[in-house]
Structure 1
Amino acid sequence: MGKVWSSIVRPDTDVARDRATAQIERTLADDSKKPTIAGFFDEATNTVSYIVHDPATCEAAIIDSVLDYDAAAGRTSNGSADRMIEYVTSKKLKVVWLIETHAHADHISAAPYLQEKLGGKLAIGREIIRVQDVFGKLFNAGTDFERDGSQFDHLFDDGETFTIGQLEGIALHVPGHTPADMAFIIGNAAFVGDTIFMPDFGTARADFPGGDARRLYQSIRRLLSLPRETRLFLCHDYKAPGRDDYAWETTVGQQRDDNVHVKDGISEDEFVAMRTSRDSQLDMPKLILPSVQINIRAGRLPDPEDNGVSYIKIPVNAV
């Protein structure tokens, strides 16, 4: 197993993972530490957003929200976000965190709109700074675009703990899909972003700038070393062939037994060969160009130009 962990941490020194394991085990032994979770599926982008709250205090976090975007018309709307606001209001929740698992390439975040309506701190992993640097250059964002993560209220480090009311949370850095991907363990649930999909669909791509299939494998195996009962909540589902319904909740045990790309027994080298070959055949996500340049700004549009209009750049022959 040493090779699996070579570019992250060795299993006997993974303090953050061990703390997450202890947290999950405490939650499994005490129902009062379990979060209440509601998933909101956006079929247009195959994205699942979550509202996670503490039943005891009604404090909540919103994870990976979606801003509706009509690419042909260049118009945004808030229907998906408004459904989340309605849920928060109906349950009388207090939003304390608006969390992004990474800078999404397939949808635009609604976090600024939700923050305006509901409050809370907007947060992402600290490695967003690397993503801002790469894509700031691609989009020629200029010196006015800060590449220090300051667009967010908080940058999570690997192993950092946080709370939602009485719920315990811990952030784990899980790079590979992008350099900045994070998983957030809250109680006995892990919100894993784009690292892994349902067992019958496999794993995320690793061919975006800064992506790395080997690191993705290592990150996934880090997550799959958590207790088998750990609930995994995914950011996307695309309905694998032969499955009629969308699904986005699974467990560590199910993934270790059945994931078609990375179940137990599949080596790092086998995974890297598969992922590299598969990624070379994939089209780019339809919304990658608008999504990334907005999401590296924490979901905010580029500053309006002198006519009061914000513009999204399309780099020609550069991607």
Structure 2
Amino acid sequence: MQVSDFDFYLPEELIAQEPIEKRDQSRLMVISKKDGHIKHKIFSDILEYFQPGDVLVMNDSKVLPARIFGRKSSTGAKIEVLLLRQIAPGQWETLVKPGKKAKIGESLVFGEGLMTGKIIDHTEVGGRIIKFSCQQPFLQVLEQIGTMPLPPYIKKPLADQRRYQTVYARQEGSAAAPTAGLHFTVELLEKIRELGVITETVLLHVGLGTFRPVQVENIAEHRMHEEYYEITPQAAENINRAKQRGGRIIAVGTTSVRCLESSSTVDGVVQPGSGFTNIFIYPGYQFKVIDGLITNFHLPKSTLLMLVSALVGRERILAAYQEAVREKYRFFSFGDAMLII
């Protein structure tokens, strides 16, 4: 299967530049896994599609203010650093601009001296390993000097930084938001629970894989970047018990899917634990855990689009995307939602 098999035409004006006023009033396209039938709804209508005993699984990773701006100690030249993941105490895998001039051994200064850094190594995908030093706790300094790492297709400044976090975000560590969850409000989640649905959280810190395009034509040759995940014993127990009783597992976002599928045995039993996953899901993959998915509309040729295609079929997804374009749905991080059930 080729990367070009997952291409589609998207007018630039359909790329959402800011979130809508109310999270749960985005549009919702509902697609039947059984026959591909499409319905057009509002996100708050999602209540119609839950059943008692279902489990809604959400990724509670919190986005770090991971974009920091500094200067080289040697020349005073400006430099931009995007934190991707912590690999050791004080050491982070990063993307750096301008990258070609970011040499090993270079010292950096951020926030008028609140934090310093030293480039100590390269990464396999063109990034840099930076060792940071600061007098105050690292995350505390980051809150002072960092900004939200909005994707490059969003050109408009974000007025309220909280709109790039889910209402249930808890554990800091992501370089990008698990955006399917941005549509939920506290009130909507409470209504879902009142229906007899179990809400459960897992963790996957979104890292470089979100930013990395597929650079090989044969998608089977693509290698995903590793991302850290955790599943608690309670979450695993609740999910497994629900499956045994016939409940459906509905994942919020592709990150929750990757977390669950990475932790599962071959017969679909979710194992508690933590580690790193580079699971790459594309058509032909046999899902072991999830029964449904809430997701946004993704970039052409992206691994996210390939994952969604694996669940409902490539042709059905591309037809649905064509309809979304005709109906002027809003795309990508601040865009509208899709429910596959």
Task: Give the TM-score of the pair, scaled to structure 2.
Answer: 0.26
| Larger RCO (CA under 8 A, 6+ residues apart) | 2
Bigger Cα Rg: 2
The structure whose residues are more often strand, as a share, is 2
Task: Give the TM-score of the pair, scaled to structure 1.
Answer: 0.28
